[in-house]
């Protein structure tokens, strides 16, 4: 996931109707929750949880495990995981998962690494996940370089840091013999980035209808809680014509590139609402064979996003109409009908949201308070889109440390005191599933969906 958290603070404005806490705030402002806004049961659960000696020892163990967890980070970062080719990293993550206590972990048919840490029984089942894939193609130099207190490598923070945090949690829970009430379904998933189209997470929720909630781990500033899933549709357009000599066929043959150019210009003029935030871009374009040839083919891809499905579909309709109008105009320019266009949907991410007053969000807010962080509720396009669209409570929170350069070869992370973020996130998780003899789960069980 790129630096979407930083750019999507405006997205919370679309949630204001869902939360009294948002009332009176202007568009673009962050919304901070206070203890008085939380349900008494949430506050009580965390008071008990964080005062328990066993839990304090567990969190201390997270700090003590920090240096070792960075070795996992180094190991996994230097294994390529381009979209649709995550297998080698998946195998390494599986081996590490087994080594820290989940002996029955496995790789499923979609390529996800899955391990179940069972609770004491009758509790909820919480999915905790980080994605295996990065945006970088095969052959990218993923060797870590260290300078100025930072570790530099493509994908090191997005989301390899999340994977190493999950492994650290499993190790310390096993070492400290902590028994949760609910189950933890621990997953390293595929297909979060680019055209992966959330295929890994879609498979998880298709094959595991008994999941009661999800906490995703991504790079994010301390206190960030993602509660909105931005929808997206992505289209690939192919323009086809007869082509011809740039001089000899001029006046008789339409150009596929010219037709595409008309389409791009029309798309660029489309107006979209600011609330809900709705965007579009022609991400790639190409075509033609020679400088002195009327292009017989051209192609482009378009990304359309919105925080609301209705606005997404309305903008999509305008984009499709713009492309058809452009082809008609190019044909009319030469009084022919030989230029055609076809489209293919190459990306479909559903929209969703988790109510700010739900137990899973209040748990994250309460954990943030305990660690001295002001909560910022945000939105983005992540793995959490899938459960949100299904009505399953889901959030995404940070993995600890400072990071930047997402999706660039210069991506970096500063892991100084990053164990604090790992502690904060683990506290969120423990409150949701409960700890045997300490606290009851805050996450409710839900009726299983039929397969």
- Looking only at the bridges linking them, the beta strands covering 402-404 and 150-152 are unpaired
- 341 and 378 co-located in one domain: no
Predicted TM-score (pTM) of the model is 0.89
Determine, yes or no, domain membership for 140: yes
- 236 and 287 co-located in one domain: yes
The Cα 285–Cα 419 span in angstroms is 43
> Of 319, 349, 379, which marks where a domain is finished?
349
With b meaning 16 or more CB within 10 Å and e meaning fewer, what string describes 315-332?
Answer: bbebbbebbeebbebbbe
Render each residue's pLDDT in the chain as its tens digit; 451 residues. Answer: 543 333 333 233 333 333 332 322 222 333 234 335 799 999 999 999 999 999 999 999 999 999 999 999 999 999 999 999 999 999 999 999 999 999 999 999 999 999 999 999 889 999 999 999 999 999 999 999 999 999 999 999 999 999 999 999 999 999 999 999 999 999 999 999 999 999 999 999 999 999 999 999 999 999 999 999 999 999 999 999 999 999 999 999 999 999 999 999 999 999 999 999 999 999 999 999 999 999 999 999 999 999 999 999 999 999 999 999 999 999 999 999 999 999 999 999 999 999 999 999 999 999 999 999 999 999 999 999 999 999 999 999 999 999 999 999 999 999 999 999 999 999 999 999 999 999 999 999 996 644 5
Determine, yes or no, domain membership for 444: no
> Of 311, 329, 349, which marks where a domain is finished?
349
Q: Identify the CATH number of the domain in which residue 291 sits.
A: 3.30.70.360
Question: C-alpha distances in angstroms, 179 versus 43, 109, 172, 367, 431?
Answer: 21, 30, 11, 20, 13
Tokens of 16: 């204001």
- 322 and 389 co-located in one domain: no
Determine, yes or no, domain membership for 357: yes
With CA atoms as reference, report the closest residue to 125 among 173, 187, 51, 68.
187
- 247 and 172 co-located in one domain: no
Determine, yes or no, domain membership for 450: no
Q: DSSP assignment, residue 25?
A: P
- 248 and 139 co-located in one domain: no
**Angle (deg, nearest 10), helices 40-51 and 359-370:** 50
Determine, yes or no, domain membership for 240: yes
- 210 and 306 co-located in one domain: no
- 361 and 402 co-located in one domain: yes
Question: C-alpha distances in angstroms, 166 versus 122, 128, 195, 202, 243?
Answer: 23, 8, 25, 20, 55
- 217 and 141 co-located in one domain: yes
- 284 and 372 co-located in one domain: no
> Of 349, 383, 406, which marks where a domain is finished?
349
Structural domain for 192, as ranges: 4-229+351-433
With CA atoms as reference, report the closest residue to 417 among 77, 62, 152, 56.
62
Q: Identify the CATH number of the domain in which residue 364 sits.
A: 3.40.630.10
With CA atoms as reference, report the closest residue to 14 among 378, 384, 396.
378
Give how many domains the chain has, as a whole number.
2
Determine, yes or no, domain membership for 438: no
- 356 and 344 co-located in one domain: no
- 249 and 395 co-located in one domain: no
Burial of 98 (0-12, 13-18, 19+ CB in 10 A): middle
Determine, yes or no, domain membership for 378: yes
Determine, yes or no, domain membership for 439: no
- 372 and 303 co-located in one domain: no
- For residue 159, say if its preceding peptide bond is cis, omega within 30 degrees of 0: yes
């Amino acid at each position: 996931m790129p630096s979407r958290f930083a750019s999507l603070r405006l997205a919370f404005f679309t949630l204001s109707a869902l939360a009294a806490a948002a009332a009176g705030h202007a568009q673009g402002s962050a919304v901070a929750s206070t203890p008085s806004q939380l349900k008494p049961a949430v506050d009580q659960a965390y008071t008990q949880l964080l005062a328990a000696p066993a839990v304090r020892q567990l969190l201390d163990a997270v700090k003590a495990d920090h240096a070792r967890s960075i070795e996992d980070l180094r190991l996994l970062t230097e294994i390529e995981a381009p979209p649709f080719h995550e297998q080698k990293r998946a195998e390494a993550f599986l081996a590490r998962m087994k080594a820290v206590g989940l002996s029955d972990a496995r790789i499923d048919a979609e390529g996800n690494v899955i391990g179940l840490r069972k609770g004491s029984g009758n509790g909820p089942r919480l999915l905790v996940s980080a994605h295996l894939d990065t945006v970088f193609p095969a052959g990218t130099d993923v060797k870590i370089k260290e300078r100025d207190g930072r570790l530099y490598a493509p994908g090191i923070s997005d989301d390899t840091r999340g994977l190493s945090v999950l492994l650290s949690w499993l190790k310390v829970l096993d070492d400290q013999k902590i028994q949760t009430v609910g189950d933890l379904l621990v997953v390293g998933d595929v297909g979060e980035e680019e055209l992966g189209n959330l295929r890994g997470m879609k498979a998880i929720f298709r094959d595991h209808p008994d999941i009661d909630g999800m906490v995703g781990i991504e790079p994010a500033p301390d206190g960030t809680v993602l509660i909105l899933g931005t929808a997206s549709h992505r289209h690939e357009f192919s323009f086809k014509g007869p082509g011809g000599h740039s001089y000899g066929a001029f006046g008789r043959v339409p150009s596929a590139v010219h037709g595409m150019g008309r389409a791009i210009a029309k798309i660029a003029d489309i107006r979209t609402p600011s609330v809900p935030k709705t965007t579009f871009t022609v991400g790639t374009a190409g075509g033609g064979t020679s400088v002195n040839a009327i292009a017989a083919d051209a192609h482009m891809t378009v990304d359309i996003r919105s925080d609301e499905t209705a606005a997404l579909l309305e903008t999509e309709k305008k984009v499709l109409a713009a492309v058809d109008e452009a082809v008609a105009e190019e044909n009319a320019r030469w009084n022919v009908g030989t230029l055609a266009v076809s489209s293919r949907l190459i990306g479909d991410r559903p929209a969703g949201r988790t109510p700010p007053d739900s137990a899973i969000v209040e748990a994250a807010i309460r954990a943030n308070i305990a660690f001295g962080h002001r909560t910022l509720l945000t939105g983005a396009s992540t793995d959490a889109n899938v459960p949100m669209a299904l009505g399953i409570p889901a959030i995404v929170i940070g993995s600890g440390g400072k990071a930047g350069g997402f999706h660039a070869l210069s991506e970096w992370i500063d892991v100084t005191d990053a164990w604090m973020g790992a502690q904060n996130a683990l506290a969120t998780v423990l409150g949701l599933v409960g700890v045997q003899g300490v606290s009851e789960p805050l996450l409710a069980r839900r009726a299983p969906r039929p397969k």
